[in-house]
């Protein structure tokens, strides 16, 4: 499913729904890997999760003799625990490191930029390269623009950029990207994790574009994306994964996809289709959990 979903174009017409599906895939993947190890490890102790856990606890408390087969099951149990701890600790580490990087970045921005009069929590960097991005914070978030961006874009185009960045902050896109980034770093050998992170990064940009479309027309927003893309050197790199207006941070294919969906004007996915996708996403999470809890045949 992840490979098919990554190659499909319908997610561009329903980015919120597609993002929910990717989250379901990620949760289902983690639950399936941990659950399969857990289910095999608990086989000798009962016919479902609760009775097996009780049986394992009793065996450990009474010091029951463990056969060779039981050692294999216990090894599987240890694998499930270690994998779960690995995923959780990696997520915590990702959050801590990201917070430190944002704090350091915010300090640099405050040193190298000036506040924008009449726009609280907005900073202006005196640099010719057109850049705009948001820095989430605990107390308040900061939106950063460069002088080059203000010179390059007209009022309507700039309004679209501002709304786009506002969407990233309001919809907490950085939290989604952080979670998928942690999943990717936890399982670097798992290609689906890398693919999911890339696709989710594109979807959150499209979600922010959709938010900006409430105040500017599609052509204006597409023009803003194209202008910034053409004026930004490839050597420039974004400091954060949600820096959507420093185009060197993303691939040209992703930028083309964003511009293309704005120009094409294709209608969004119909409500029945979106409901079906939501049902599939929920099933991906619920089914493995139910199978783990239900008694084995």
Q: Report pLDDT digits (tens) over 9-61.
A: 899 999 999 999 999 999 998 888 898 888 888 877 777 777 777 777 777 77
User: Is residue 179 predicted with pLDDT exceeding 70?
Assistant: yes
What does the block give as tokens for 81?
A: 């625990």
Q: Which residues contact 53 (CB under 8 A, 6 or more apart)?
A: 42, 45, 46
What per-residue confidence (pLDDT) applies to 66?
60
**Best-predicted range by mean pLDDT (5-14, 58-67, 229-238, 271-280):** 271-280
Which of the residue ranges 105-114, 151-160, 190-199, 233-242 would you say has the lowest mean pLDDT?
Answer: 233-242
- DSSP notation for the chain: -HHHHHH-SGGGG-HHHHHHHHHHHHHHHHHHHHHHHHHHHTGGG-SSHHHHHHHHHHHHHHT----HHHHHHHHHHHHHHHHHHHHHHHHHHHHHHHHHHHHHHHHHHHHHEEEETTEEEEEEE--SS--EEEE--SS--EEEEEHHHHHHS-HHHHHHHHHHHHHHHHTTHHHHHHHHHHHHHH-TT-HHHHHHHHHHHHHHHHHHHHHHTTTS-HHHHHHHHHHHHHHS-TT---SSTT-TTSGGGS-HHHHHHHHHHHHH-PPPPPHHHHHHHHHHHHHHHHHHHHHHHSPP-
In 3D space, the residue among 283, 27, 236 whose CA is nearest the CA of residue 129 turns out to be 236
**CA distances for 166 relative to 163, 173, 243, angstroms:** 5, 11, 12
| Amino acid 248: pLDDT | 42
Q: Measure the CA–CA gap between 152 and 75, rounded to whole angstroms.
A: 61
Please tell me the distance from the alpha carbon of residue 116 to that of residue 275, in angstroms, as a whole number: 43
CA distance 202 to 210: 13
Both structure tokens of 291: 């199978």
Label residue 221 by pLDDT band (50, 70, 90).
Answer: very high
pLDDT number for residue 255? 87
Residue range 99-112: mean pLDDT, rounded:
89
Mean pLDDT of the region 55-72: 69
């Amino acid at each position: 499913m992840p490979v098919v979903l990554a190659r499909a174009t319908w997610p561009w017409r329903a980015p919120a729904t597609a993002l929910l599906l990717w989250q379901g895939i990620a949760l289902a993947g983690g639950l399936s890997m941990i659950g399969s190890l857990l289910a095999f490890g608990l086989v000798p102790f009962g016919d479902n999760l609760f009775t097996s856990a009780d049986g394992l606890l009793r065996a450990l408390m009474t010091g029951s003799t463990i056969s060779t087969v039981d050692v294999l099951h216990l090894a599987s149990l240890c694998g499930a625990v270690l994998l779960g701890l690995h995923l959780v600790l990696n997520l915590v580490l990702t959050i801590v490191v990201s917070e430190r990087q944002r704090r350091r970045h915010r300090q640099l921005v405050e040193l190298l930029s000036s506040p924008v009069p009449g726009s609280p929590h907005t900073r202006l960097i005196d640099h010719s390269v057109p850049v705009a991005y948001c820095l989430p914070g605990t107390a308040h978030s900061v939106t950063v623009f460069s002088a080059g961006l203000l010179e390059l874009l007209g009022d309507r185009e700039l309004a679209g950029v501002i709304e786009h960045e506002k969407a990233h902050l309001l919809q907490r896109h950085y939290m989604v990207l952080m979670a998928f980034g942690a999943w990717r770093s936890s399982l670097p050998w798992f290609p689906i994790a890398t693919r999911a992170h890339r696709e989710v990064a594109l979807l959150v940009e499209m979600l922010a574009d959709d938010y900006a479309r409430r105040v500017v027309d599609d052509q204006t927003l597409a023009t803003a994306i194209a202008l910034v893309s053409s004026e930004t050197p490839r050597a420039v790199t974004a400091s954060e994964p949600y820096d959507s207006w420093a185009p060197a941070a993303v691939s040209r294919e992703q930028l083309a996809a964003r511009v293309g969906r704005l120009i094409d004007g294709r209608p969004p996915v119909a409500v029945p289709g979106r409901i079906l996708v939501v049902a599939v996403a929920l099933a991906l999470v619920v089914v493995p959990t139910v199978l783990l809890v239900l008694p084995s045949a």
